[in-house]
Structure 1
């Protein structure tokens, strides 16, 4: 009997379903990124912690311990993304799991005609174009090895009309369609494509949206009264990645329940 590939053996140890696999995680130092990094390592994966804040990525790697490798990477920097695999140690160079998590909404939650065109461009450039660049850099290796998972962190805003959120929603709608099309293009390969669409999640994205105003973030979350935690979203990611190789979870919608 031929030996099974790492993807085919995933899930044989219930306590470490991702054992033997290597993940590349963008936005690793943020709230959802940190939660996913911890869960990936607990599930047995090696993890490249990619983040534009190199010091934060290094601190996270030191906190998590081996096998985590910090990588300073700004996904807006096309040439740097194109070289992102070159500086990795050999043990981390064959990527089995790509988690496209990096993104922002700086300057967002503003009526379109009142906001800054530069802010709008930056949101789309990071969230959509940056995600496309990272995927383009890593996908060919997965296809060549005939194994891999592409996981896209989208948003419920990709499919719902949310006033004052046009650039962010447009960027996430682009990710939504990108994931759908890649799933079709890769249908004759063993690769899987999963899109996670979370609702409001208690992360630093709201404070960053208001350029570091923590009080504005507090008022925002207080206004809604309910939100997911980063760990809730991470559990969805690990659930998808831990499925048997013949099971592909195309989309996962996760929204908070009203507890009040």
Structure 2
């Protein structure tokens, strides 16, 4: 564990519920965290709460120019980046039959969940390869491997993350870089609220369908478990479900 204490991480979507839980778990484990999120106000507020062990960078992962500049925006005191947690994602306009949904909604989901994730990875991976060190954790979903009606775009994006992660792991197999995919089941984050564009009644009705859901801290704890394995151990894939789901 002593080795892990000196490591620096980048977390995308850091101002959201899942990102905050992941950040807190990383900081508690002794790591320093670069917080990346497009919501600048929430990001700065959260960074203020977390203190000197974090550094905020307002970032829209769908903006190629901003993502390309990301390595240059990270202060030297938070380098080198050993851990990348690709957490940013959304399902705005989701839970709608594909033919009834807006094409711009579907495109936005893919642009953020898959292409944005790939862009961030591409911006930080070359330095990991140069140093032959690092750990990439991609937050996918059970939707990556299970068919759920009315979630075509979201599921396609997460299936893309799944295959991207698998392929990246294969490409990096001769290096010391580890690549992990997390596949959470139903989790109480604000992704449901944003899916319904702030409609709290719809959010409540959605969660009320289920007996229980995971907490963001459950996913964060699982990520730290994967990070804390010995260097020769790679947690390739982890599916995390509430006990009443299968």
TM-score (norm 1): 0.93
Alignment match, 1:153: 139
* 1: CA distance, partners of 2:170 / 2:158: 19
* Post-superposition offset of 1:93: 3.2
- Cα deviation, 1:1-32, whole Å, max 9, x if unaligned, reads xxxxxxxxxx24xxxx6200000000001111
Alignment match, 1:134: 120
Match of 2:9 among 1, 14, 23: 23
* 2: CA distance, partners of 1:49 / 1:217: 26
Alignment match, 1:239: 225
- Cα deviation, 1:150-169, whole Å, max 9, x if unaligned, reads 00000000000000000000
TM-score (norm 2): 0.98
CA contact 1:58–1:70 (8 Å) conserved in 2: yes
Gaps of 5+ in 1: 1-10
Structure 1 outlier segments of 4+, above 3 Å: none
Q: Find out whether 1:33 has 2:24 as its counterpart.
A: no
1:67-106 equivalence runs, <5 A = 67-106=53-92
Match of 1:219 among 197, 205, 215: 205
Q: Find out whether 1:198 has 2:166 as its counterpart.
A: no
* 1: CA distance, partners of 2:99 / 2:116: 25
Q: Find out whether 1:55 has 2:55 as its counterpart.
A: no
Q: Find out whether 1:258 has 2:244 as its counterpart.
A: yes
- Cα deviation, 1:141-196, whole Å, max 9, x if unaligned, reads 00111110000000000000000000000000000000000100000000000000
* 1: CA distance, partners of 2:182 / 2:227: 12
Q: Find out whether 1:117 has 2:103 as its counterpart.
A: yes
* 2: CA distance, partners of 1:18 / 1:168: 33
* 1: CA distance, partners of 2:4 / 2:52: 15
Report the secondary structure of 1:244's partner residue: coil
Alignment match, 1:167: 153
Gaps of 5+ in 2: none
- Cα deviation, 1:34-78, whole Å, max 9, x if unaligned, reads 000001011111100000011111111110111100110000101
Q: What RMSD over aligned residues (CA atoms) do the two structures have, in Å?
A: 1.0
* 2: CA distance, partners of 1:56 / 1:40: 19
